[in-house]
Amino acid sequence: MNDEERRWLHTLYPELTLGEPLPAGSLGAIKLHFASEFARWKIHLPEDAVAIRRPGRILQGGWAIWYLFGKDDKGEYLDYYSAHHMTGDEHVRVYEDGSVLALDALVSMRRCSQDPEEDARLEAEHLAENCRIAAMLEAKGFGITGDEPGGVQINRHLSLGDEE
């Protein structure tokens, strides 16, 4: 994180300037992790969404970021799925204690083989896995709705074998 991004975080969460390790209020570690990940684009979770644990979506700076809150035996968490046409997709769970878990995300690159039969098998496996992940994303409310940045929509369709 560069100095400009750090200054933005301190403006967003002034308590950090005073030496506090986390933003005030509930889910401080989650808010800090998310804002730190997207500081370059000045993207953060809306406070009202955090307060009532409302799921949502952020379309900013070329990003499409879907998020939802939940709770399991490890505590409260935020799941988010981020996509940008210049990066690989990322699916992450951040717990209230700040621990982070990588979740399944669509993969644009696949293994290839010079053997045509093996290559066809590898392609089919890759597509099947991406289709499984896409169905899981849809079930979580992280599906494409049509107003995401064009590159994000195109990448999602290409990762599912939609070449038209």
For the stretch 62-74, pLDDT in tens is 999 999 999 999 9
pLDDT exceeds 90 at position 1: no
What CA–CA distance (Å, rounded) separates 44 from 12?
9
Show me where the domains of the chain are located: 3-159
Q: In which residue are the tokens 């195109």 written?
A: 154
Mean pLDDT of 104-120: 94
Q: Say what the pTM is.
A: 0.93
Cite the DSSP H helix spans in the chain: 3-12, 28-37, 47-52, 116-140, 150-159
